[in-house]
Structure formats: C-alpha cells, structure tokens
Amino acid sequence: MTALRLATWNVNSIRTRVGRVTEWLARSEVDVLAMQETKCTDAQFPTLPFHELGYEVAHVGHNQWNGVAIASRVGLDDIEVGFPGQPVWAKPDADPAVEARALGATCGGVRVWSLYVPNGRALNDPHYTYKLEWLAALRDTAEGWLVDDPSAPIALVGDWNIAPQDDDVWSMEFFDGATHVSEPERRAFRALTEARFLDVVRPFTPGPGVYTYWDYTQLRFPKKQGMRIDFILGSPALATRVSHAEIVRDERKGKSPSDHAPVLVDIQSSRTPPVI
C-alpha cells in the first residue's frame, strides 16, 4: 500500500498556471507537491485553491523570479527556508540575500526539500561559479543530515538545471559548450549521489529520450527535443521504499502548460522490525 505520493513540478509561474496545477492535483492523488519557479511573493501566492483541495502550503518568494513551495495534505511541519550554508547571490551594491531557491518541510514523516538550482547561464558567467558553489554547499549539508541520522527519510526534489547523462538531452552536439551538460556540473550532481542520495526515478523511467523539460521555442516538445533536468533524489532509507515513479509528460501538452512536466514517486510505508 502506498503511504505517500510525492511529486515535483517547475510550474513556471503559479499565478499563470494555478488552474492546471490544482486540476492535476485533484485527479492525481498526489499527497505532497514541491513546486519551483513560482515567480511571486508570499502575499501573491494563490493559496486558496490549494486549501480548498485540502492542502497546506508553505512558500518562499520575494519577487517575480525564482520562488519555491510545498503543498501537502499529510502535514507540513518544521518548515525551513534555505538550507544551512546555502550561498547567496547579490547584484553589485545590493545587500546579500538568500534567494528563494530552497524550502524544506516534513510531510507525512518524510523530510522534503523543494529545490530550484541556479541556472548557471553560461560557462564564463559568474552565475556558473555560483551554481557550482550552491551545489557543493547542498551536498555538504545533505551529507551531514545522514551523518546525524542515517535512517532519515529525505527527498531532495526539484529543478536541478543539470542533465547528468548524455542521453538526458536530445542532442549533445546542440549543447556543446553550454551549461547543464558540462563536466563540473555533472560532477557536482554525482557528488550528491556519492553522498548516498539516489535518483529514485530513473530506474522506472529509463532513457534515452525520456525528458522532463522542453523549451517553448522551435517546437521542441512535438519534436521530442527535451532535457531531463528534474529529479527526485532519496536518502537510503527513502530510496528502498520507492515502489513506482513516472514523468507525467502529458502535463506538458494543452493550453498554457509549464515548460516542465511533473515527476512523481510512490513511497511505501516504512516497516519497523518487530521487537523480540
């Protein structure tokens, strides 16, 4: 019996797509949805439609950029904005501020982190260095969580802005010299898996040609020219409980879709050994 259905979705503006998101929630039986690129402030987030479906919502957003949220119908506890050690990005002469890129909460006994990893922009852009520093800090912090509690069920989910393997993009030639596929980025992603956070979706959705994102331009979606950049990484205690996973490609279709598709996993109840 499935104890928890967990999904992640870069919604690319929740105010534009709240109807699509809540309609999907109503028919998909998702218990917890992590969202990225909400593109609104906390005051602007359309909480009411989620509440009407029985979901509590935690959100962090400062303006029309970035923004992450978690909607849960199985509890929303110990909410944490940003992970310890998270780097900051500030424009020249601006006060440093943690961007709205990481939000954690405990939902149905699982520690869920909704993550929107920096894009990187270009290999010679300062944001690329920032992206690598951000990922390194996440890796160090996440590894520390498992040192403190090896049995912790933790899900690191979201838009990672990295295609870890060649077959995670429609054309390596097209992406030659670009971000998302560079070796330092892929190495940073592997560092998370080496810290024992496993990609729990790929075993159920093997490639090639299996993507989570398709650019709006150049008819990328109908041409099947996409990227796999949205992932759910599970701690060892969580990974062993995943019984099913899928990329809901159909949600990229239709009127005013996000350029990303939802990714979901079914997590079985934990089994406690009998006391003898």
Show which residues are catalytic.
Answer: 116, 159, 260
Question: Using alpha carbons only, what angle is made at residue 158 by residues 155 and 159, rounded to the nearest 5 degrees?
Answer: 150
Burial of 194 (0-12, 13-18, 19+ CB in 10 A): exposed
244 labelled ligand-binding: no
37 labelled ligand-binding: yes
Q: Are strands 154-159 and 2-10 parallel, antiparallel or unpaired?
A: unpaired
Contact 14, 42 (CB under 8 A): no
260 labelled ligand-binding: yes
Tokens of 173: 């030639």
In 8-165, alpha helices (H)? 14-28, 47-52, 126-148
161 labelled ligand-binding: yes
Tokens of 73: 């119908």
Binding residues: 10, 37, 159, 161, 259-260
Name the binding residues for Mg(2+): 10, 37, 159, 161, 259-260
